Chain A
Amino acid sequence: MGNAVNAGGDGASGGSAVLAMPSEPSNVDPIMTRSLSAWNIYYAVFDGLTRLEGDGSISPGLAESWTSNDTQDVWEFTIRDGVAFHDGTALEISDIVYTYEKILATDTSTNKVAIAMVDSVEAEGDNVVRFTLKNPFAAWLSQVATIGIVPEKSYEEKGDQFAEDPIGTGPFKFESWNHGVDYTVERYDDYWGEPAQLDKVTFKFVGAADARTTGVESGTLDTALIPASQVPVVESSNSATVIDAVSNKVALLGVNTTAGALQNLKLRQALPIAINREQIITELLDGYGTQTGQPVAKGVTGYIEDYPVPTYDRGAAKKLIEESGYDGEQISFQYASSGGDPTDPLVAQAIASDLEAVGLNIKLVGAEQESQSLTIANHQVAGLYLNFWSPSSMDGDVVVSQLLAGGPEDYARSPVTAKLYLDQQAASGDERIAVYQKIWEWNTENVSNISLWQIKNAFASSKSLKWTPPVDGIYRAYDYSQTNR
């Protein structure tokens, strides 16, 4: 493979950019921490064996090519020559083996869960790394993209201080991290691939959505994710523009199918058709959503083109509930009253009133986002809940595992989906997509959870900044350039 182009000479355009992040990563150590906010920085400072591009496709990273056996549980990656870390030391195969083994040996690493299927990782000669997995895992190419490779020597020396002065092989090198304020990187001129275009990129942590909007309008920030409600404000501004981007995020209505009235299949089947998705998207999300009937978004592996969206039909839903013998038992509905998306409370109220309109007795229960996440992760939801899934690996595997194959959001624990999940891990290409279709069909029929809509993101961006918005909302700093600086 090796599609990297060395644009030597004056390929780079120069300039700098300030990219806003809604939250500061708690840690920027690719061994220890796996988080949406940290990836913004990892994709600048580190490289994985593969690279997950902003459109969800996989391209070569530190590995220039790879092969797997038929059962997809042994993977071999051929590592490119001439890669150097930011401190000038050459990348060795042993650094890659070290990175993976270190993660597996660290209980407090949040990456450990993501690569728990690794049985062994070993060097084969000078330029091949071989992974033997405990089970077939078709999504392995996406998974390795999310693991940044660190230099063994430096990591061992710095220990838990590595994040304060990290060294990677990525297109940018670390400059400074002002905790609570920003994280700055500068272009790495000896990068193995196409060099980054900007000289300097600053990731600035700005929690308040209003501050992000005014920050871009005033030129303090170059780009920021903003709520759909602020799109008109930015559109009317002279200095900034709005960039719409499809995202990998899907809104879901989770269902505890093992509790109370929700155990009744007929009643559950009324839920998807009782919700007026179109009205909610238009009126509450300012159009920033697309109705869907499957839990992964377009661009994510496992997405089925033209998969049917439940048709809103209040009459039919009412009828199903009458037939179910529902006796008016109260059904709780949890949502994030704060700390989540600002529209969550409004969306939850709209869904609740749709469900009440077909005869259900809904009790809204609001909680702060992190508390709600904890309840969900601990498999403790009593009734319905509003939640979102955006698989950072851009692969449906994790979504199925969480929602339908034994994960914390799987209340049904069906052997059917558990089996299909394993089938999916062992399959590849079209065959794998066909298994996903079966999983979604099972879910549509059994209403284990309800897919609502795919979220569209809105970014405010200065007019001089050139970039393609990524579907996972994570910045690829190497993709940015300034046109008039």
Chain B
Amino acid sequence: MTSYLIRRIIQAILTLYIAVTVAFLLGRATGKPAALILTEGATPQQIHDLNEALGFNDPLAGQYVNYLVGLFRGDFGLSYRNPGRGAIEIILDRLPATMTLALTSFLIGLLLAVVAAVLIHITGSRTLRALFVWSGSLRQSLPDFFFGVVIVLIFSVALGWLPSLGYSGTASLVLPVATIATAQFVLYVRLLDSALSEQSTEDYVRTAYARGKGHAMVVATEMLPNAFLPVLTVAGLNLASLLGGTIIVEQVFAWPGVGGALIGAVSQRDFAVVQAGLLVVAFIFVVVNVLVDVLSAVIDPRVKLS
């Protein structure tokens, strides 16, 4: 386990290094930013001077080395669009909003799917299965921006129950969470349903019945934990990408997440913020993946970490 973790950490650092390097190079390939920062009436000389002051006239290799050295010191650079604010600070500022939205949506989506899948198997009802899978697929076939706007029109505009946008309190969380959770739902229902079906023919299930356990108890306490493993990997990847920002949903609900901050920084050529943002997103991805692997081993001892 320890050697596995060490190897994973080395791998993770390598992944992060590649991510920051790619972010650095792609950013620089789009041109020097001073002309965009200076707006009305700047002369070519003023543009040149600002690029000089910001270090963008230095050789690329020098800029890259400075950047890496800074990273080792924990210095992610300053945003030059927001004087006085560190690049990492801008990203970390947005992280709570992203975390709140991603984790809540993820858990609710997963929970609904667990309830639905367990119900299908307890009742053995084909109608119920068809209903959940059909409605879930229908929802998933609608793009998030469309579904989001539709529920805003219903619950905010027509009924006036919930705020249509913003990040202030639980009420503002309802519609964006509903958008993401319902889109995730069918994915987990399908996975859980087929995993449960597979489990139902296993020996330990028959044994459990023989011990006199009721059907509902067998499904919930014996089959479900075993059926959860294949879901875990997919769920982990999903969670990581949700935490990386859900740009469409952020747009529809004016949600101040990491995704929006990143897109804004890219178009403003705010390289330090782009680099810090990609590093944070890559970091989350790597950490969640390691956690999923470790969790799989904990849940199922047959999974070997190697």
Contacts and interface: CB of A to CB of B under 8 A. Distances in A.
Contacts, number: 157
Interface in A199-250: 204-208, 210-211, 214-215, 217-221, 237
A161 interface: yes
Contacts of B49: 107
Contact of B37 (A110, A369, A379): A110
Given A181-B256, A370-B268, A211 B165 contact: yes
A29 interface: yes
A377 B42 contact: yes
Interface stretch (B13-21, B28-36, B122-130): B28-36
Interface string B46-62: 11011001100000000
A428 interface: no
A180 B260 contact: yes
Contacts of B270: 26
B212 interface: no
B44 A108 contact: no
A163 B84 contact: yes
Interface string B194-205: 000000000000
Interface string A331-356: 00000000100000000000000000
Contact of B41 (A113, A371, A373): A113
Contacts of A377: 35-36, 38, 42, 47
B32 to A, nearest CB: 9
A350 to B, nearest CB: 25
B260 A218 contact: no
B280 to A, nearest CB: 15
A162 B83 CA distance: 10
Best-buried of B42, B90, B254, B261 by chain A (most CB within 10 Å): B254
Q: Which secondary structure characterizes the binding site on chain B?
A: loop
A108 B40 contact: no
Interface in A1-42: 23-24, 26-27, 29, 32-35
Given A180-B94, A218-B163, A207 B260 contact: yes
A163 B85 CA distance: 10
B267 interface: yes
Contacts of A237: 157
Nearest to B90: A179
A208 B251 contact: yes
Contact of A160 (B42, B83, B160, B254): B83
A114 interface: yes
A205 B80 CA distance: 20
Interface string B75-109: 00001111111000010011001000000000000
B45 to A, nearest CB: 10
Contact of A205 (B39, B85, B254): B254
B166 interface: yes
Nearest to A390: B40
A177 B108 CA distance: 31
B179 interface: no
Contacts of A211: 152, 164-165, 251-254
B167 interface: yes
A27 B82 contact: yes
A373 B164 CA distance: 32
Given A108-B54, A163-B84, A217-B157, A204 B38 contact: no
A82 interface: no
Contact of A214 (B93, B164, B257): B164
B163 A27 contact: no
Which of under 10, 10 to 19, 20 to 34, or 35 or more describes the interface residues of A?
Answer: 35 or more
B121 interface: no
A204 B164 CA distance: 13
Given A26-B268, A180-B261, A207-B251, A220 B166 contact: yes
Interface in A114-150: 114, 116
A370 B269 contact: yes
B164 A398 contact: no
A45 B305 CA distance: 59
A248 to B, nearest CB: 13
Nearest to B172: A220
A219 B41 contact: no
Contacts of A112: 46
Interface in A31-77: 32-35
B156 interface: yes
B149 interface: yes
A398 B40 contact: yes
A339 B267 contact: yes
Contacts of B43: 113, 406-407
B153 interface: yes
Contact of B46 (A113, A207, A392): A113
A200 B93 CA distance: 25
A157 to B, nearest CB: 13
A401 B269 CA distance: 26
B89 to A, nearest CB: 9
B50 A214 contact: no
A398 B47 CA distance: 17
Contacts of B36: 370, 373-374, 377
9 contacts: A178-B167, A181-B166, A181-B254, A211-B165, A214-B153, A220-B163, A220-B164, A221-B165, A378-B31
